[in-house]
Structure 1
């Protein structure tokens, strides 16, 4: 049976957990105040965002839909029309987010700020329990409320016919005619640019054109066609749920049914109206679809798997699951395997009255040519702790803009290799260890995970240590083309010199100051070289300050929110918390029960509950949860 790439929250990757840990877990702050309630002078909220607001990773509307149902629909309604069950109890009607006059005038950055800070004058609370990424996911979903799928499909066809030759099929500004233009075409996947553009602004640019290269379309396209095209341009910054799902590793489902299209509801399934799920396997690389493929169907209620079924495809590549239980709110996804690589559909959530869903699966041919990869952004953070050691944390965001999945040249070989600076030691990873997903290579390491097509789908976070005695010649080998580099260092006491870097000034957030440097594109085969000297003064980026740094970076929108949180602490002062976690394990995993996947999953859920209740310190929670997750991953053969 194939594995699918949908991530239940209970088994979400450590990256997402670290983002969550930087935010409040108090759900009370997300509850709309009752009518007549006295609004306090100050209500806990995220700090007002400063600097440019844009997401680090492409937001996922499907994940946002789940959050919207829980947090927003009670007031704004399931369809975003402001008609939720609590709407009539409020003194002011909630905004009709799906109304065109509202959605078309709003930018993603504006909606993100509203979700972050709330609007207590209209009884909307700040959503402090949501991570930075979750808020962007919700914002992405809000735009889908006013855009029917047929409009998006129309916009896609119009884009291919009128825009792709200059802006590229993915919207990255790399079309076949781009090089011949006087001005480089707009990159519609640029999150910073697009987060500050409303649909109306996109519509106006389409209508009036942009001299000297972009023509006007006010006479060539109808008004509806221009709005459809604007909607599609917006969608280029939002990752499809399938792309996000496939970008992370997900465990094999805990229970499977025998082959056949008859579904198997698990113990916690909610009985509901039955329906049909259909789909089509499409080879997005232009190849054939094997006739002997099987399709797995999974259903989730509140992020727990509650349904599974398997069927074979028909000769034309289509498939059908009959008599599927479809309670409102259940999320479905289908999965298959092709050339030893797992592929999955988008995620579909059952709405009231739904009896039919379509979950098609794109599969890809494979390639071993790593030149299909590029690095959208490389982020480097320097942290000072041990007097003789400098810790370096790096975050790489990679894209595969080809139509093929990158695989290893041979079994057991890495898919992508990375070289480290000479002298690097104590290599650690955010989501794995050497000997498992990662392997040691001469001068660096290799990643054995395949890289599926899509922009920004692979996020790699790792750290290492360098010997440091107040001066270091730091040389980072560049084996893939890098479009942009962002470096963070202490504000005072440390000097970073390089003819490749531009000084971007200082920033201060949550009482933590840092200095930022940037670099433009670096070609494959080059090096990023700099001289680092001195030591930080005060609390600027020294060990122990990273938690506050994370909170500040969340507000500022800088990518190193992940790296700042993830520093592999081993704080002895929290040993009691670790012991508490171990005692909890003994309680939850008696004897051989620890070898049962479902028991391990329950233990992870219980650990989450203990942490949210304030009974475990954060470091102990992270460490033990990571261990339980790794144990489950090993057990399931992920």
Structure 2
């Protein structure tokens, strides 16, 4: 007999004997309203909604429904489990649009939905940083894109052929680019090659998003010229390399410097129109004398990018996987101690989380973050010197 049958039987007997049966504590049902992002008072009726669960075992569909004439919907209660988080999604304008993830169901959730567009008129590259590392085998390029969408959800241009998926954002690569690797960013999950580079299949929602990827350009160790081009306007372009590795020039750009990263050579240019190539030239001498380490790249990110993208990048791609402690199997080696730079990265990330959650005033956040950033840059320089 199942546990549920036993529980129902016990409840029935208790009812007959007029003895109150012990009741399980259940969470309240999940209720919410679908509204337009452009007008929070405008409720959206008759659209499909669903509740999805995410856990270590995968993604599962928990419940489905449809908003009523007032835009309201209701899902059954779900147990609170710190190892599982949930997300409500709405099918609007042909796209499943996600709400904010949660562990404990919010009271009176409001799912804001956006219109969609196939026009890239409101899409721009807020910042594009290219980090060049000239080696004997080629020039390794790391591209950090910070993109902005001021309009509806951008789906990309209509498909040219029905047997090809619709590409949203596209990223151009120079001719001859090899070993393309996407490191980080929510736009990195689904991508396909295109004639001029690669494209993201993920719709670009309103707001700011990032993408970090790298590639290698072959060269003879003497001179290399290649174009930097984007199908979207670039508000700020910077091309950076390590002092002493090679001579660098960027078409229409000016030399810039940072007190926090004096070992770097950087050229900056603003307001690059969409589809306009900017020629970059890199020349010897000094090939391979001072290879760019990950620590230097991240120091650059903290100094010149100055945001969560660089912090998240180090946390996700630089830190080695923890070694199992003694007695936990394997070779029994102890866990690798956290470096000072990693500890500072974690502290900055916690500070950012507190500020974004509204628990830390801006007056306390700004000076504290500036202090931690200065300490992080110094720690990364010390890592470089001891490496």
Match of 1:550 among 298, 310, 327: 298
| Superposition RMSD in Å | 4.6
- Residue 403 to residue 517, structure 1, CA distance change in 2 (3 Å): same
Question: Which residue is 1:131 aligned to?
Answer: none
Find out whether 1:461 has 2:212 as its counterpart: yes
Instruction: Tell me the CA shift for residue 479 of structure 1.
Output: 1.7
- Give the 5 Å matches for 1:395-410: 395-410=144-159
In terms of fraction of residues, the more strand-rich structure is 2
| SS of structure 1 residue aligned to 2:121 | helix
| SS of structure 2 residue aligned to 1:430 | strand
In structure 2, what is the Cα distance between the partners aligned to 1:342 and 1:611? 46
In structure 1, what is the Cα distance between the partners aligned to 2:333 and 2:148? 35
Question: Which residue is 1:484 aligned to?
Answer: 236
| Structure 1: gaps (5+ residues) | 1-270, 582-586, 589-609, 616-638
Question: Which residue is 2:20 aligned to?
Answer: none
Instruction: Tell me the CA shift for residue 297 of structure 1.
Output: 5.5
Question: Which residue is 2:112 aligned to?
Answer: 362
Question: Which residue is 1:344 aligned to?
Answer: 98
Tell me the alpha carbon deviations over residues 221-247 of structure 1, each in whole angstroms, 9 at most, x when there is no partner. Answer: xxxxxxxxxxxxxxxxxxxxxxxxxxx
In structure 2, what is the Cα distance between the partners aligned to 1:299 and 1:526? 42
- Give the 5 Å matches for 1:257-276: 274-276=27-29
In structure 2, what is the Cα distance between the partners aligned to 1:299 and 1:566? 22
TM-score normalised by structure 1 residue count: 0.40
In structure 1, what is the Cα distance between the partners aligned to 2:204 and 2:283? 37
- Residue 299 to residue 391, structure 1, CA distance change in 2 (3 Å): closer
Tell me the alpha carbon deviations over residues 11-40 of structure 1, each in whole angstroms, 9 at most, x when there is no partner. Answer: xxxxxxxxxxxxxxxxxxxxxxxxxxxxxx
Question: Which residue is 1:470 aligned to?
Answer: 222
In structure 2, what is the Cα distance between the partners aligned to 1:405 and 1:443? 20
In structure 2, what is the Cα distance between the partners aligned to 1:367 and 1:558? 31
Is the radius of gyration larger for structure 1 or structure 2? 2
Instruction: Tell me the CA shift for residue 381 of structure 1.
Output: 0.3
Find out whether 1:449 has 2:208 as its counterpart: no
- Residue 341 to residue 368, structure 1, CA distance change in 2 (3 Å): same
| SS of structure 1 residue aligned to 2:158 | coil
| SS of structure 2 residue aligned to 1:547 | helix
- Give the 5 Å matches for 1:58-207: none
Question: Which residue is 1:226 aligned to?
Answer: none
- Give the 5 Å matches for 1:267-416: 274-284=27-37, 289=44, 291-296=46-51, 298=53, 308-321=62-75, 323-325=77-79, 333-347=87-101, 350=104, 357-385=107-135, 387-410=136-159, 412-416=165-169
In structure 1, what is the Cα distance between the partners aligned to 2:312 and 2:249? 22
Question: Which residue is 2:279 aligned to?
Answer: 529
**Which structure has more RCO (C-alpha within 8 Å, separation ≥ 6)?**
1
In structure 2, what is the Cα distance between the partners aligned to 1:538 and 1:467? 14
In terms of fraction of residues, the more helix-rich structure is 1
In structure 1, what is the Cα distance between the partners aligned to 2:199 and 2:61? 36
- Residue 423 to residue 329, structure 1, CA distance change in 2 (3 Å): closer
In structure 2, what is the Cα distance between the partners aligned to 1:422 and 1:401? 31
1:297 and 1:333 in contact (8 A); partners too: yes
Instruction: Tell me the CA shift for residue 557 of structure 1.
Output: 5.1
- Aligned pair count reads 299
- Give the 5 Å matches for 1:211-226: none
In structure 2, what is the Cα distance between the partners aligned to 1:611 and 1:427? 34
Question: Which residue is 2:5 aligned to?
Answer: none
1:490 and 1:536 in contact (8 A); partners too: no
Question: Which residue is 1:614 aligned to?
Answer: 336
- Residue 289 to residue 307, structure 1, CA distance change in 2 (3 Å): closer
| SS of structure 1 residue aligned to 2:179 | strand
Instruction: Tell me the CA shift for residue 345 of structure 1.
Output: 2.2
In structure 2, what is the Cα distance between the partners aligned to 1:306 and 1:485? 42
2:52 and 2:59 in contact (8 A); partners too: no
| SS of structure 1 residue aligned to 2:257 | strand
- Residue 532 to residue 384, structure 1, CA distance change in 2 (3 Å): closer
